[in-house]
């Protein structure tokens, strides 16, 4: 293993020693295999290659001050991957197999879990693909489940500093009755062109409006949206956003802090009423948003100090990180020690 500069990691792929795999064939999942190869070999007519039959997950392992490695809410990722599989007619991965694979791949790559002080984490990427051949549009009969890991730093280079996000009605991420609530690759392919426009304009991400009316806030490209309005945590309720496990956790932590929580449609017009806004997700953690530009209408919305996260975002961030790293009690049983 070459020396890794833990404090300067970005969110990118670094090779580790092992990944784990299981194959669904003839109606059953194989025993978990450990592999040192970074390659997958598959049929050229595999449905993942032609018709986008694929789903993935993202979760993290954290090394605590006590040296223990904790995985955050993997039961929820297991459930969500089943939901994604079901949505595009793939064979769901049994929750027990999912959890066993996640635990095993972390155990096998313990040397790659970044040290506590670095602030970096081990990102765990489960992937499910239709690997059996079809030429007509129909679900595969064979599936491959792989889990790999890679040490990562912050997803947005600003880390826990406010970023600017962009709204434009010229792009949709997901159709109203489409696959936006599934973690399937097609949603990310659909977001790449808009993402490029955002990055070229100096924005960390696109903030999507609902595709039907262009009236309500949906979510950011790689993360959910939330806002603080007085003593209330507000987050969009929409059928075309990914149900974020980080957001679900922040909702609980906000309640514990005595905030009201509203999960409801959030009109874009309400942006001018928010005190703090942010994006949240496994990769993004909490990424405070300092400014949102509606580039079609040439209107800017600004939130708090452009160089510092707001007080409630900061409190939520420390509480969440505290639980993940084992500095705070895990009163809801969110953490699994490897």
Contact (Cβ atoms closer than 8 angstroms) between residue 181 and residue 247: no
Least Cβ distance, residue 246 to ligand PLP (angstroms): 3
Which is it for strands 260-264 and 232-236: parallel, antiparallel or unpaired? parallel
Pick what 322 binds: ligand PLP, ligand COI, none; C-beta below 5 to 8 Å, kind-dependent: none
Is there binding between residue 287 and ligand PLP (CB under 6 A)? no
Pick what 219 binds: ligand COI, ligand PLP, none; C-beta below 5 to 8 Å, kind-dependent: ligand PLP
β-partners of residue 336 are 71
The residues in 205-224 that bind ligand PLP, with binding defined as CB under 6 A, are: 219, 222-224
- Selection from 206, 126, 201 nearest residue 174 by Cα: 206
Which of 60, 63, 164, 183 is an active site residue? 183
Least Cβ distance, residue 313 to ligand COI (angstroms): 17
Is there binding between residue 195 and ligand COI (CB under 6 A)? no
**Part of the chain binding ligand COI (CB under 6 A), chosen from 13-21, 140-148, 211-219, 275-283:** 275-283
Q: Which of 52, 58, 94, 243 binds ligand COI (CB under 6 A)?
A: 58
Least Cβ distance, residue 197 to ligand COI (angstroms): 18
Least Cβ distance, residue 21 to ligand COI (angstroms): 20
Which is it for strands 69-72 and 59-63: parallel, antiparallel or unpaired? antiparallel
Residues 173 and 209: their CA atoms lie apart, in Å, by 9
Is there binding between residue 87 and ligand PLP (CB under 6 A)? no
Place of tokens 């595969």: 140
Least Cβ distance, residue 140 to ligand PLP (angstroms): 24
Is there binding between residue 235 and ligand PLP (CB under 6 A)? no
Cα separations (Å) of 165 from 2, 13, 62, 206?
36, 25, 28, 6
**What 8-state DSSP symbol labels residue 118?**
G
Angle at 65 between CA 59 and CA 71, to 5 degrees: 20
Q: Which of 92, 178, 222, 278 binds ligand COI (CB under 6 A)?
A: 222
Residues 298 and 296: their CA atoms lie apart, in Å, by 6
Q: What does the per-residue mask of binding to ligand PLP show for 31-70, with x meaning CB under 6 A?
A: ---------------------------x------------
Residues 168 and 238: their CA atoms lie apart, in Å, by 18
Q: Which of 84, 163, 168, 282 binds ligand COI (CB under 6 A)?
A: 282
Query: Does residue 183 carry a catalytic annotation?
Result: yes
Distance of CA 295 to the CA centre of its chain: 26
Least Cβ distance, residue 94 to ligand COI (angstroms): 21
Is there binding between residue 151 and ligand PLP (CB under 6 A)? no
Contact (Cβ atoms closer than 8 angstroms) between residue 191 and residue 218: no
Residues 124 and 150: their CA atoms lie apart, in Å, by 7
* Token pair in block for residue 240: 């075309």
Q: Residue number with the shortest CB distance to ligand COI?
A: 58
Q: CA 129, 131, 132, 135 torsion: positive or negative?
A: positive
Pick what 242 binds: ligand COI, ligand PLP, none; C-beta below 5 to 8 Å, kind-dependent: ligand PLP
**What 8-state DSSP symbol labels residue 30?**
P
What is the 3-state composition of the chain as percent helix, strand, coil, each rounded to the nearest 5? 25, 30, 45
Is there binding between residue 53 and ligand COI (CB under 6 A)? no
Footprint on this chain of ligand PLP (rule: CB under 6 A): 58, 219, 222-224, 242, 244-247, 281-282
Footprint on this chain of ligand COI (rule: CB under 6 A): 58, 222, 281-283
Which residues are annotated as catalytic?
183
């Amino acid at each position: 293993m070459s020396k890794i500069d833990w404090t300067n990691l970005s969110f990118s792929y670094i090779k580790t020693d092992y990944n784990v795999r299981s194959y669904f064939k003839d109606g059953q999942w194989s025993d978990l295999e450990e592999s040192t190869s970074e390659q997958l070999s598959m049929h050229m007519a595999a449905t993942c290659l032609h018709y986008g039959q694929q789903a993935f997950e993202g979760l993290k392992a954290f090394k605590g001050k006590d040296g223990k490695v904790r995985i955050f809410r993997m039961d929820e990722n297991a459930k969500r991957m089943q939901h994604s599989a079901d949505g595009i007619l793939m064979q769901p991965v049994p929750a027990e197999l999912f959890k066993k694979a996640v635990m095993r791949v972390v155990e096998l790559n313990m040397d790659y879990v970044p040290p506590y002080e670095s602030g970096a984490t081990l990102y765990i990427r489960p992937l499910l693909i239709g690997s059996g051949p079809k030429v007509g549009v129909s679900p595969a009969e064979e599936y491959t489940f792989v889990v790999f890991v890679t040490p990562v730093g912050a997803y947005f280079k600003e880390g826990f500093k406010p970023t600017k996000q962009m709204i434009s009605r010229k792009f949709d991420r997901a159709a109203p009755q489409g696959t936006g609530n599934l973690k399937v690759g097609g949603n990310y392919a659909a977001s790449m062109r808009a993402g490029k426009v955002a990055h070229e304009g100096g924005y960390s991400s696109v903030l999507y409006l609902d595709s039907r009316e262009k009236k309500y806030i949906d979510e950011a490209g790689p993360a959910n949206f939330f806002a603080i309005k007085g003593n209330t945590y507000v987050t969009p309720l929409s059928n075309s956003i990914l149900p974020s496990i980080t957001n679900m956790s922040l909702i609980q932590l906000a309640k514990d802090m005595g905030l009201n929580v509203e999960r409801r449609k959030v009109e874009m017009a309400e942006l001018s009423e928010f005190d703090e806004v942010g994006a949240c997700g496994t990769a993004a953690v909490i990424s405070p948003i300092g400014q949102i530009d509606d580039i079609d209408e040439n209107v800017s919305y600004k939130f708090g100090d452009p160089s510092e996260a707001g007080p409630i975002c900061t409190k939520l961030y420390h509480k969440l990180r505290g639980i993940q790293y084992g500095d705070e009690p895990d009163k809801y049983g969110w953490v699994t020690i490897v």
